[in-house]
């Protein structure tokens, strides 16, 4: 098990396990993992970037070596943004950072991209398989413009409704059903049951409110969206089209791959990330 470089306290006292690789004097990139992963999903990418970047990963609250909040409110996106702010302050004081997120790590990072406190500190954001819930909600409300795509996305997201139920999702995870589902769409290893159960609160604390009453906001942060063509959870149309009205500097990259492209094809992700960073910092 990897030993954290440091533990960082968030605004509500939850301790976050943080891992740093590479020279702190080099540009910092912070990578935020999704559900039901921990920081190790980035191991391949970290190895590819560490010669040129100060790479920071952390276990989000409720996962890996980080503490879990005692209440559901502790998983709301504004609190997750506070977590990211604390990690940035601790690992890159006084220096702006590049941000990359996958799945729920990307979903919560969109909250940082439009946050007035953090937006000026973000040099770029690379979003992989994790849309802004506000942008997604607004895109789905425009169903008349893309009825087929919207209905397909709703079908692909049907598992989220199951996650809202009491007790049954936890029982399914304990029975190994989540691992079997992931195994059909990814070659990655089994996840921690406790982390998966904790992470259900991400869906319960955020989805219904954000999707039924979206509040999409614009950002000046340059954004690259990497959309795997064989992602069974997030359609390429949602990933690429939903941010368009709100992100003036948007680059959308549809790639051949599956949902866990960050673990399965880290070389591809590293190349796209390097090219994007070179472009926005030129």
Q: Which domains does the chain have, with CATH numbers?
A: 6-281 (3.40.50.1820)
Using the predicted structure, report yes or no on whether residue 187 has a pLDDT greater than 80.
no
pLDDT of residue 40: 96
Dist. CA 262–CA 259, nearest whole Å: 8
pLDDT of residue 151: 77
Using the predicted structure, report yes or no on whether residue 189 has a pLDDT greater than 70.
no
List b or e across 121-160, with b for residues whose CB sees 16 or more CB atoms inside 10 angstroms. Answer: bbbbbbbbbbbbbbbbbbbbeeeeebeebbeebeeebeee
Token pair of 103 as six digits: 């799945």
Mean pLDDT of 89-99: 96
Using the predicted structure, report yes or no on whether residue 6 has a pLDDT greater than 70.
yes
pLDDT of residue 196: 93
Alpha helices in 120-185 (DSSP H): 133-141, 147-156, 158-163, 168-174, 177-185
Spell out the SS3 assignment of 200-215.
HHHHHHHHHHHHHCCC
Mean pLDDT of 161-184: 85
Q: What are phi and psi of 137, to 5 degrees?
A: -60, -40
Using the predicted structure, report yes or no on whether residue 43 has a pLDDT greater than 80.
yes
pLDDT more than 90, % of the chain: 78
Mean pLDDT of 232-261: 96
Half-sphere exposure of 186 (CA within 13 A, CB side): 24
pLDDT of residue 107: 97
Mean pLDDT, rounded, of the chain: 93
Using the predicted structure, report yes or no on whether residue 279 has a pLDDT greater than 60.
yes
Contact 38, 32 (CB under 8 A): no
Mean pLDDT of 180-207: 82
Question: 16-37, pLDDT tens digit by residue?
Answer: 999 999 999 999 999 999 999 9
């Amino acid at each position: 098990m990897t030993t954290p470089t440091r533990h960082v306290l968030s605004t509500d006292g939850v301790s976050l396990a943080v891992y740093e690789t590479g020279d702190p004097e080099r540009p910092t990139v912070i990578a935020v993992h999704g559900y039901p992963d921990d920081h190790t999903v980035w191991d391949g990418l970290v190895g590819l970037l560490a010669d040129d970047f100060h790479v920071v990963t952390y276990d989000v609250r409720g996962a890996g070596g980080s503490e879990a909040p005692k209440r559901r409110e502790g998983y709301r996106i504004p609190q997750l943004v506070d977590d990211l702010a604390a990690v940035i302050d601790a690992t890159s004081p006084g220096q702006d950072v590049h941000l990359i997120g996958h799945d729920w790590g990307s979903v919560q990072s969109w909250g940082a991209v439009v946050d007035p406190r953090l937006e000026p500190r973000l040099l770029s954001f690379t979003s992989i398989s994790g849309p802004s819930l506000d942008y997604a909600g607004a895109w789905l409300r425009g169903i008349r413009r893309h009825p087929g795509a919207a209905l397909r996305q709703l079908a692909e997201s049907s598992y989220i409704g199951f996650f809202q139920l009491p007790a049954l999702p936890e029982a399914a995870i304990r029975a190994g059903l989540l691992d079997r589902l992931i195994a059909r769409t990814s070659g990655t290893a089994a996840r921690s049951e406790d982390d998966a159960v904790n992470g259900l609160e991400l869906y319960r604390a955020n989805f219904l409110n954000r999707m039924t009453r979206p509040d999409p906001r614009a950002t000046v942060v340059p954004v690259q969206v990497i959309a795997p063509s064989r992602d069974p959870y997030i359609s390429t149309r949602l990933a690429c089209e939903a941010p368009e009205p709100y992100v003036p500097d948007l680059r959308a990259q549809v790639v051949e791959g599956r949902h866990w492209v960050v673990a399965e094809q880290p070389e591809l992700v590293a190349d796209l990330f390097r090219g994007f960073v070179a472009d926005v910092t030129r």
